[in-house]
A and B are shown apart, each in its own frame.
Chain A
Amino acid sequence: MIEKILVLEVVLPLLAAPVCVLVRHPRFCRLFSLGVVAACFAIAVALLVEVRGGGVISYELGGWPPPLGIEYRVSTVNAYLLALVTSMALVVFSFDSRGGPPRVPEERRHLYYAVFLLCISGLLGIAITGDAFNIFVFLEISSLSSYILVSLGGHRRAVMSAFYYLVMGTIGGVFFMLGVGLLYQATGTLNLRDIAARLEPSLDDRGTVLALALLVVGISIKLAVFPLHHWLPNAYSFAPPKVSAFLAATATKVSFYLLAMVLFTIFGAPFVFEELRLQAVLLPLSILAMFLASGAAIFQTDLRRLLAYSSVAQIGYMTLGLSTANATGLAGGLVHLFNHAVMKGGLFLVVACLLYRVGSVHIDALAGIGRRMPLTSAALVIGGLSLIGVPGTVGFVSKWYLVSGVLERGWTAAAVLILLSSLLALVYVGKVVEVLYFRKPAETQPIDHVREAPLGMLAPAWVLAAAAVFFGLTTDWTYGVAREAAELLLAGGI
């Protein structure tokens, strides 16, 4: 039974998208897509419960057995990703943005929901499939729909950002495709487990090393690893706020899974981290991301841009966990996927609330808003504290395990740098909090008319803010699952 519903995880949103196009009724599409996403979330949770403790569920598409046929295969790693994407999608979809994205007129809004559903189905597909070329197809489905979603932001620069994102994303996608091609050339198969079993990576085999290089660079572009992050700040700050919340919470997370899967499952930790020593590149880049992107965030005057740069820095923490290549560090990186999704998704939803009521999220426009919108601002403070890594929030959980993993590896300096970089987060979060609560509004910008955000907006933002505290206190379903996933990855399984 559970094998049968496994495939629905991808098929439901994929089929729901054309339904939205055909029905054309914005209100119906909104509720319908919410229902579909809720169903996907329920399936993902059922899968996660089922596979926890080392189970695997496999589905053969069209009845063709792997390695010839495409296999959907779910273990703890995939189920964790599916649960992450669908839970974030559910929260974002329940956010009532009062009129949809700025550039989409009422009569076209059904297309917006269709594209959103396609994006979700692409992301879920990447996480669920066990076939290398199938990953490429889903990667492009999710990327193409993200370009569209980004371009719907109100400002003209949204379209320009979407174009940059498209160019970068396509180059990354082609690199990924070439890497898969080289792997196929070396092994004669596209099934991920089959590739892993047949591939004997060695430094003398230049084809394999090139495949690894292409895959890592290609995925790094989509993941926005420093210094390939250039598309991200623009895309996140000009996209419609709901889209920013969704993409920041899910898109880069799925790419991270892809990177971990390529490094640990296909090439194997011994080759990548002992023979090739990829950490010699990954570790410095992660640390640079933590400092330079956090540093850039401090100087931003637009709240969305500030959060976007902070995202680049947070991706640095994740890749840092990856480069430790031990269970604690990798689990720290993986748990940070969920934790960062919760806090950054929540913060971008807060931005959406502020945009709706204040009309701008320029730092000067937010002066004194803390008194006018106390609940919204409080959610922002919780998310901000979590970004810094204050105990009792999810950010602390991630950093605790990251630092433990780094220390296990004997990299004391890196551990110190993680803590120091948190101070930068303190500066940029502190700057926003100071403006919200302590600065007097400018004479030219009266804020007396500003009221608290409506419940349909406030509730989803607060769900994530509450989750940031809840999962900061109980870590069984976040760190517990991530630990299991990390051990599975290190053993070369998926």
Chain B
Amino acid sequence: MNLPEALSGLWAYWLLIALMMVGLYIVIARDNLIKKVMGLNIFQAAAILFYVTMAKVEGGTAPIVPGGADHGAGHGGHDVLYSNPLPHVLMLTAIVVGVATTALALALAVRIHGDYGTSEEDEAVAYDMGHG
């Protein structure tokens, strides 16, 4: 696969990878704990978008079987192409996990701020060095 093809056909993946690395970079490079949590969130969002991207079927519609008795077989038969609903369902769970993680991380950050008087990692480490 040459580069233009890889860029045009898989652009969503490149975007995801870029987003993921942005998130990871923030987690590594920032000292502020809240920013770290934000970076972690971006990182998770990239993974969630990956699943959502994967679910898209070209030309597919939302996976809702149209109509009841009124519409008849002509409208809602088996010839309709649907997107894959399963990854979306999985991501509902993953989003819940993400929310729980964020909530816990923020709670810990509050606790750390209470104990150290700072939300900056480097200052907290320096405090530990000074106080044993």
Residues of A within 8 A of B (CB): 133, 136-137, 140, 144, 147-148, 151, 156-157, 159-160, 162-163, 166-167, 170-171, 173-174, 177-178, 181, 184-185
Contacts and interface: CB of A to CB of B under 8 A. Distances in A.
Given A137-B93, A184-B54, A159 B47 contact: no
Contacts of A160: 112, 116, 124, 128
A88 to B, nearest CB: 24
B119 to A, nearest CB: 11
A185 B94 contact: no
13 contacts: A136-B97, A144-B100, A144-B104, A147-B104, A147-B108, A151-B108, A156-B115, A159-B108, A162-B108, A167-B40, A170-B44, A181-B54, A184-B87
A166 B112 contact: no
A170 B44 CA distance: 8
Nearest to A180: B90
B27 A177 contact: no
Contacts of A136: 94, 97
Nearest to A175: B47
Contact of B97 (A137, A162, A166, A181): A137
A224 to B, nearest CB: 18
How would you classify the secondary structure of chain B's contact residues: helix, strand, loop or mixed?
helix
A156 B101 CA distance: 20
B116 A156 contact: yes
Interface string B79-106: 0000000010010011001001100110
A163 B54 contact: no
Contact of B104 (A157, A166, A174, A181): A166
Contact of A174 (B33, B44, B54, B87): B44
A174 B109 contact: no
A151 B111 contact: yes
B112 A174 contact: no
Contacts of A166: 101, 104-105, 108
* 6 nearest A-B pairs in the assembled complex, by CB-CB distance: A156-B115, A140-B97, A159-B111, A163-B108, A174-B47, A178-B47
B77 to A, nearest CB: 22
A64 B128 CA distance: 54
A136 B95 CA distance: 12
B94 A177 contact: yes
A163 B109 contact: yes
Contacts of A163: 33, 105, 108-109, 112
Given A166-B101, A167-B36, A174 B108 contact: no
Interface string B106-122: 00110110011000000
Contacts of A133: 90, 93
Contacts of B108: 147, 151, 159, 162-163, 166
How would you classify the secondary structure of chain A's contact residues: helix, strand, loop or mixed?
helix
A251 to B, nearest CB: 17
Interface in B19-61: 24, 27, 33, 36, 40, 43-44, 47, 50-51, 54
A430 B50 CA distance: 52
Contacts of A159: 108, 111-112, 115
Given A137-B93, A140-B101, A156-B112, 18 more contacts: A140-B97, A144-B104, A148-B104, A156-B116, A157-B128, A162-B108, A163-B105, A163-B112, A166-B101, A167-B27, A167-B36, A167-B105, A170-B43, A171-B27, A171-B43, A181-B47, A181-B51, A184-B54
Nearest to B112: A159
A301 to B, nearest CB: 12
Contacts of B87: 181, 184
B46 to A, nearest CB: 8
Nearest to B113: A159
Nearest to B108: A163
A160 B116 CA distance: 10
Contacts of A171: 24, 27, 40, 43
B101 A144 contact: yes
A447 B100 CA distance: 45
B50 A181 contact: yes
A23 to B, nearest CB: 23
A151 B114 CA distance: 13
Contacts of B105: 163, 166-167, 170
A387 B43 CA distance: 39
Contacts of B128: 157, 160
B126 to A, nearest CB: 12
A18 B43 CA distance: 31
A174 B104 CA distance: 16
Contacts of B112: 156, 159-160, 163
A360 to B, nearest CB: 12
A226 B43 CA distance: 23
A205 to B, nearest CB: 13
Nearest to B127: A156
A150 B17 CA distance: 32
A115 to B, nearest CB: 11
Contacts of B116: 156, 160
A123 to B, nearest CB: 16
Contacts of A157: 128
